[in-house]
Amino acid sequence: MAAREVHMIVIGGSSGAIDALRAILPALPTGYPLPLAVLLHLPPTQPSHLVEVFRAQARLPVCEPDDKEPIMPGTIYVAPPNYHLLVERRGSFALSVDLPVLFSRPSIDVLFESAAAAYGPHLAGVLLSGANEDGARGLECIARAGGLTFVESPATAAVRTMPAAALQRTAVAHSAPAADLGKLLARLAATPRPVEAS
């Protein structure tokens, strides 16, 4: 039995996800060591206020990453509007203005797939409330690369479409209400996760 650690968390969501994050982010204590990238669908033309919203909730520093921003421990990175956010294998962010994917830019699939390629089994992906199916494919990628997958349980999510679509593709995803997801993420940093020998 080998110990496997999580080095990075990616979180995606759409309508209803801000409320879920209000329950999740305060559960992460000061000094929490893992970096988190949070991507919510937003109208493309308005400046995003998410950084301020999350700063009020979280005990960790919150910022919008620039292109090539190195990924630092214990920081919450919020995807800026009108760009795709990607993770490079050298542990930095990249941005792109490639066309929208499933009508979305930023796209959760794009973030999750690139993060899965960069972090493999050391990644945890979380998909929250939302009214479309973005993220389902990305979460599947994370699971295939050996990472951990969570969804907000469709029964308690404000809009069930997004987590339900993901569960359909990724049966192994762990499903829980937002408040419990916060506790689960808090614990990820504390204990290396045992991996069954195959």
Partner 1 sequence: MISPTPSDTELAELLDAVYHRYHYDFRGYAEASLRRRLASALTHLRCASVGELRARVLAQPRCFSELLQFLTVQVSDLFRDPSYFRSIREKVVPYLRTFPSIKVWVAGCATGEEAYSLAIVFAEEGLLDRTLIYATDIHPESLRVAEAGVYALDRFARFSDSYRLAGGHGSLANFYTAQYSSAILDRKLKQSILFSDHSLATDVAFAEVELVSCRNVLIYFDRPLQDRAIGVLRDSVRRKGFLGLGAKETLRFSPHAEAFTEAVPEDRIYQRR
- Are the C-beta atoms of residues 83 and 106 closer than 8 Å to each other? yes
Q: Among this protein's residues, is 175 annotated catalytic? A: no
Kindly report the backbone phi and psi dihedral angles of residue 55, in degrees, each rounded to the nearest multiple of 5, phi listed first. Answer: -60, -35
Q: Among this protein's residues, is 107 annotated catalytic? A: no
Regarding beta strands 8-13 and 123-127, do their DSSP bridges make them parallel or antiparallel, or are they unpaired? Answer: parallel
Counting contacts by CB under 8 A, is residue 68 touching partner 1?
yes
Q: Among this protein's residues, is 134 annotated catalytic? A: yes
Check 15, 41, 84, 114 and give the catalytic one: 41
Distance CA 9, CA 25 (A): 12
Residue 172 CB, shortest distance to partner 1, in Å, is: 15
Give how far Cα 22 sits from Cα of 19, 38, 39, 43, 127, Å.
5, 12, 14, 20, 14
Counting contacts by CB under 8 A, is residue 160 touching partner 1?
no
Residue closer to partner 1 by CB (options 89, 183) is: 89
Residue 50 CB, shortest distance to partner 1, in Å, is: 15
Check 14, 129, 153, 175 and give the catalytic one: 14
Query: Which residues here bind partner 1, judged by CB under 8 A?
Result: 64-70, 80, 83-84, 86-89, 94-99, 110, 113-114, 117-118, 137, 140-141, 144
